[in-house]
Amino acid sequence: MARKSAVLIPVIIAAVAVGVLGLAFVPPDIRERDTGFSKGTVRIDDNVITVEIAETAAEQQRWLTFRHDRLALDTAMLIKHDKSDLYEVWMLNIEYNLDLIWFDENGNAVYMKKDVPPCSNVVETVSCTYKTTKQALYVMAATSGFIDEHDISVGSKMTIISA
């Protein structure tokens, strides 16, 4: 009788391969679909920023994937979580470089990464996953150059004006 691992390992490998291929070859009508994120406004230090807000689990997973249009430098995507944690961002299926900023529950910028490139292939997850080193409640993603344009640094304060 065959050992369970002799059967399970090829099945698991096949399932992962099918999943990776599915992500890599998503049909264009899915890629081009309107995201329908709600809009809001935040202030970071003295800069007023329009944000698209990803609150639900589905929106957080979708965020900027397959999006060809770059966000303007006065616009960003704000991922809002339910509780503070060490959140990571995986750059799979992102079309352009991003600036990433993690904010704590008080709106203080606690961690940043500038000019983060997208994944070059679907297999390489470690080199294109970015994780904060401090507890955060929000993750902001914007077109590369956003941090320098608005002179944001660790300690900058984000205030939600409307959400």
Tens place of pLDDT per residue across the chain (163 aa): 467 666 677 777 777 777 666 666 666 555 555 557 889 999 999 999 999 888 887 777 777 777 778 888 999 989 899 999 998 888 888 888 999 999 999 999 999 999 999 888 777 777 888 899 999 999 999 999 999 999 999 999 999 998 7
Topology of the domain covering 34-162: Jelly Rolls (2.60.120)
So what's the pLDDT on residue 124?
72
So what's the pLDDT on residue 20?
67
Alpha-carbon gap, residue 21 to 55, rounded angstroms: 27
Determine if the pTM surpasses 0.85.
no
So what's the pLDDT on residue 29?
53
So what's the pLDDT on residue 24?
64
Pairing mode, strands 47-54 and 75-85: parallel
Longest CA span, the chain: 70
So what's the pLDDT on residue 134?
95
Indicate if the alpha-carbon torsion angle 9, 10, 13, 18 is positive or negative.
negative
So what's the pLDDT on residue 105?
95
So what's the pLDDT on residue 28?
59
Tokens representing residue 27 in the block: 């049909």
